[in-house]
Amino acid sequence: MPLDEPIALPSYLDHPPEVAARVQELAARPVVMSVEALTRTFEGTNGPMTALSRITFEVRKREFISVIGPSGCGKSTLIRILAGLDYPTGGQVRLDARPVVGPGADRGMVFQGYTLFPWLTVKKNVMFGLKMKGVGNAQAEKIALEWLEVVGLTAARDQYPAQLSGGMKQRVAIARALANEPRILLMDEPFGALDAQTRCSMQAHLLRIWEKVDVTVLFITHDLDEAVYLSDRIVVLGANPGRILEIIDVPVSRPRREEQFLSGHFLATKKRLEDLIHRPEVALANAAPPTVHAA
Amino acid sequence: MRDRGEELDASSFDPMAEPVRPRLLAVRQPLSRRASAIAGVLAFAIPFVLWCLISYVPFLWHPLVLVTDAGDKSVPGTHSYVSEGQLVDRADFAARNAELARAGARQARGERSNPIYLQPPHAVGRALYTAFTTPPEGTGDVWLHESLWQSCQVIFWGFFWSALLGLPIGILCGTFALFSRLFEPFVDFVRYMPAPVFGALAVTVLGLADEPKIAIIFIGTFFQMVLVVANTTRTIDIGLLHAAQTLGASRRQLLFHVVVPGVVPALYRDMRILIGWAWTYLVVAELIGEKSGLSAFIYQQQRYRHFDNVYAAIIIIGVAGLAIDQLLAFGARYLFPWESGNTRLARLARGVRRVLPDRLAPARVI
């Protein structure tokens, strides 16, 4: 076979047995967050502009779900609405069946920009949410130190954010969000500003935390590898207006390892994402072939 | 030696080569420590040397003549008024000597001199010293250091009331759009009225003592302060507010645990600038009602034509302002360790707070 021939990839819909079992098991779990016909229009100078159109999906307990899409597809607007920092003009978001009406400690968030409080030490940053809830100093400190241990930053507990690297800052931000024990952790391109090496190690780090800690993650990204590597499911958004093109069950087995980046199922999923993002009309016209259940 | 014809590529990098010296005029580049220190000294040295040159080099400027010998006083003429000890224009002095020459009389003599209002450095230096050592001339006149203390008190209270009201109102305006709309248009309107125009009013209402002066400083700084503080408060990173909200902070907690600690270092810098404004208004404020403080001292010395004392007082105002500013700048390093990276001090402060009983420890989030 000539070297530059494309490799024959399996279909991204072809689930190996352990993946198929996991997909079924996930679908049976209780729903943590449900997004129902969510629509957001902005009043622009040239009339109303629809940023999100009838977005509907559910996030299940301890699931790792990613939202991916081209720039301008409204993925940031979506996560801001889920966090309660923005409001929908149609539809609603429900967390444990209760409608979301504003920001709250039940939905932790990690932002792309560094949002650690510069005047607080690392430890006090992690204690912030607990203090807001009225947890006593000693108890808050104990919990904060536990979370700093989880993210591996115990040694930096008395440093100020300005003294940390980008990756360390985001680890503190993760610890700070998790210390509140949120029902869901919303992550808005948290590694987008990091260099490639740091991003890779942060992804592996996040997976280890997620395996250890009982938390559901909704992760926004524009990085295809990141989405496939981390997620159980990927919500693919299209632009103008922002809408769901497809929700993909990732056919890569867990626990994830870096070697899987070059596995057939990984590459097939990545190829499908690429087609959906860059050539949505073509990709959707070649509609998903009938689901093939592996053996 | 490197071959001259060699291509300039990565391999031509010589780690042992002299580091490139930073150039003195490089766009947006820091100066070397040495150059920076020298330039800082020159900032004061250059004006001082210019002052010395004009004062001591006789052929530089010196537009007048100090008459040491009036010559033959009996010779009449249009310039016969020239007499010993006078400061006269060089042209008048020459005209008198021409008159004397025509009469064949003894010539007048004198030395070139600067006007009385340009005092040489040594005279001002002496005045700085004597102001603190010799009693004031008139009865009821105050010593220089007494007037300085009086001025400092007026500045302190004027600025104190201004900050007491201006900081909270400014922070509220910068945080809540409603307060901004309620206060800022009116504040903006009053801001354009020069504070001294309220002088007569202040004296009528508050009397002749320090109160109207404090009021003028208050009016001069308060309205500026509200706007400056509001604008600074608006510069807080909205991401921090969003993060705090997702961590469960209530509106009140956002204000006291995010907005306030987030902008305090910047507000502190604003206050340093606004104290400068207070010093500017001091001079007008002290001349209304019963004159007081350094301005009264300057006004009085100017009437006695003691310009050396006038300069001494002006220099003291500059030194006092600079000293207060430097003191505040130094304080910032202790107060905001996260900005200077001075964690050693922060650890010390935390240690002290740990030793104090909980009730006494200042309830800060830091």
A240 vs B2, more confident? A240
- The distance of Cα B222 from the centroid of its chain, to the nearest Å, equals 19
Exposure letters A39-73 (e unless 16+ CB within 10 A, then b): bbbeeeeeeeebbbbbbebbbbebbbbbbbbbeeb
| pLDDT category of residue B288 using cuts at 50, 70 and 90 | confident
* pLDDT at residue B277 tops 70: yes
Question: Does residue B366 have a pLDDT over 60?
Answer: no
In a domain, A4, yes or no: no
pLDDT for B136 equals: 73
Residue keyed to tokens 């004597």? B130
CATH number at residue A180: 3.40.50.300
Residue with tokens 């300085």: B148
B5, pLDDT greater than 70: no
Given this model, what pLDDT does residue B178 score?
Answer: 97
pLDDT > 70 in chain A, percent: 96
Q: Which residues of B touch A129 (CB under 8 A)?
A: 247-248
Give chain B positions within 8 Å (CB) of A132.
Answer: 244, 247-250, 253, 257
Q: Which of A118-127, A134-143, B24-33 has the lowest mean pLDDT?
A: B24-33
Q: What is the pLDDT of residues B74-123, one digit of tens each?
A: 888 888 888 888 999 999 999 999 999 998 889 999 999 999 889 999 99
Mean pLDDT value across residues A59-81? 94
Q: Which residues of B touch A83 (CB under 8 A)?
A: 242, 246
The distance of Cα A154 from the centroid of its chain, to the nearest Å, equals 25
Instruction: Determine the residue type at B364.
Output: R
pLDDT at B196: 85
Q: Which residues of B touch A (CB under 8 A)?
A: 237, 239-240, 242-250, 253, 257-258, 261-262, 264-265, 336-339, 341, 343, 346-347, 365-366
Tokens of A244: 């769901």
| For residues B9-19, average pLDDT | 58
Note whether residue A292 is domain-resident.
Answer: no
* Predicted pLDDT of residue A99: 95
Number of domains in chain A: 1
Domain span at A152: 17-284
Chain A residues inside the 8 Å CB shell of B257: 128, 131-132
Q: What angle do CA B254, A214, A35 make, to 5 degrees?
A: 65
pLDDT tens, position by position, B340-361: 765 555 566 666 655 655 544 4
What 8-state DSSP symbol labels residue A59? Answer: E
Q: Do the Cβ atoms of B323 and B276 come closer than 8 Å?
A: no
Give chain B's mean pLDDT: 86
Q: How confident is the model at residue A102 (pLDDT cuts 50, 70, 90)?
A: very high
Q: Are B214 and B161 in contact (CB under 8 A)?
A: yes
Mean per-residue pLDDT for A111-140?
95
Which of A115, A121, A129 is facing B240, going by the closest CB pair?
A115
Amino acid occupying residue A11: S
In-domain check, residue A5 = no
CB-CB contact of B67 with B83 (8 Å)? yes
N- to C-terminal Cα separation, chain A = 28
> How big is the A-B interface in CB pairs under 8 Å?
93
Residue A3 domain-assigned?
Answer: no
Instruction: Pick the residue from chain A with its C-alpha nearest to B238.
Output: A115
More confident residue, A293 or A168: A168
The pLDDT value given to residue A68: 96
Find, among A203, A181, A216, the residue nearest to A255 by Cα.
A203
> Among A146-160, A166-180, B301-315, where is mean pLDDT lowest?
B301-315
Give the torsion sign (CA, A78, A83, A86, A87): positive
User: What per-residue confidence (pLDDT) applies to B343?
Assistant: 56
Nearest to B247 among A84, A129, A158 (CB): A129
If you average pLDDT over residues A274-285, what whole number do you get?
87
Q: Is residue A112 assigned to a domain?
A: yes
Q: Mean per-residue pLDDT for A42-53? A: 89
Q: What gap in Å lies between CA B310 and CA B316, rounded to an integer?
A: 10
Pair B70, B83: CB distance under 8 Å: yes
Is pLDDT of A79 > 70? yes
Residue of chain A nearest B265, judged by CA positions: A119
CB-based burial, B190-217: b 16+ in 10 Å, e otherwise? ebeeebbebbeebbeebeeebbbbbbbb
Q: Select the more confidently predicted residue: B353 or B239.
A: B239
Specify if A259 maps to a domain: yes
| Residue contact A163–B341, C-beta within 8 A | yes
Q: B-contacting residues of A 166-195, CB under 8 Å?
A: 173, 176-177, 180, 186
The alpha-carbon gap from A177 to the nearest alpha carbon of chain B, in Å, equals 7
Give all domains of chain B, ordered by start, each with its CATH number: 64-113 (no CATH), 144-335 (1.10.3720.10)
SS (H, E, C) B23-45: CCCCCCCCCCHHHHHHHHHHHHH
Q: In what order do the strands lie in the sheet with A216-221?
A: A107-110, A184-188, A216-221, A64-68, A233-238, A243-249
Average pLDDT score over residue span B146-172: 94
Q: Is B71 left (phi over 0), alpha (psi -120 to 50) or beta?
A: left
pLDDT digits (tens, 9 = 90+) for A11-27: 889 899 999 999 999 99
Amino acid A141: pLDDT: 96
Lowest mean pLDDT among A47-61, A216-230, A268-282, B351-365: B351-365
| A289 in a structural domain | no
Position B139 scores a pLDDT of 64
Q: What is the pLDDT of residue B364?
A: 41
Q: Do B239 and A115 touch (CB under 8 A)?
A: yes
A96 touches chain B (CB under 8 A): no
- ipTM associated with this complex: 0.91
Among A113, A114, A128, whose Cβ lies nearest the Cβ of B247? A128
pLDDT average, residue stretch A228-235: 96
Q: Alpha helices, DSSP H only, in A50-121?
A: 75-83
Structure tokens at B77: 């003429």
On whether residue A255 sits in a domain, the answer given is: yes
Kindly report the average pLDDT of chain A as a whole number: 91
Q: Which residues of A fall within a CB distance of 8 Å from B249?
A: 128, 132
Locate the chain A residue with the closest alpha carbon to B261: A119
pLDDT of residue B345: 58
